[in-house]
Amino acid sequence: MAALHPFHLAFPVTSLAKARAFYGELLGCPEGRSSDDWVDFDLYGHQIVAHLSASEAGHHRTNEVDGDNVPVRHFGVVLSMEEWDAMADKLRKAGTTFVIEPHIRFKGQVGEQATMFFLDPCGNALEFKAFADPSRLFAK
């Protein structure tokens, strides 16, 4: 398997203070460079950049996936099952309102996975997921 390369994702937020509190404090993403209009975060080795753009922030549409209304525009990370369980517990203890509660999707199928969806304070949707068998990430 080839080495994974970090991805870069820029996304809109309504407030850098809210982004810092959510990504930096709650999710534990170390902060990188910043300016008055944007801030970099390290999301499990990937560079995500919160850019001030209130009119673009938030999710607007959903699609049905295995019985759930999944936000079309979302991002996140694939964790180990242990990390996923710990993150779900951390988010619950923080009082996070889930768009889609933590659960197992595609039970008994090749794509079986743990998933949860939640919003950042600017309305952006995130999905954190995990596979009991990580080799199934792209399995058909």
Q: How far apart are CA 1 and CA 135, in angstroms?
A: 10
3-state class (DSSP) for residue 93: helix
Fold observed for domain 63-136: 2,3-Dihydroxybiphenyl 1,2-Dioxygenase; domain 1 (3.10.180)
Q: How far apart are CA 87 and CA 6, in angstroms?
A: 21
3-state class (DSSP) for residue 127: strand
pLDDT surpasses 80 at 1:
no
pTM: 0.92
Q: What is the pLDDT of residues 3-29, one digit of tens each?
A: 789 999 999 999 999 999 999 999 999
Distance of CA 80 to the CA centre of its chain: 14
Closest Cα to residue 43, out of 81, 95, 7?
7
* Domain 8-53 bears CATH identifier 3.30.720.120: yes
Q: Do 8-53 and 63-136 come out as alike in CATH topology?
A: no
Give the position of tokens 């954190």: 128
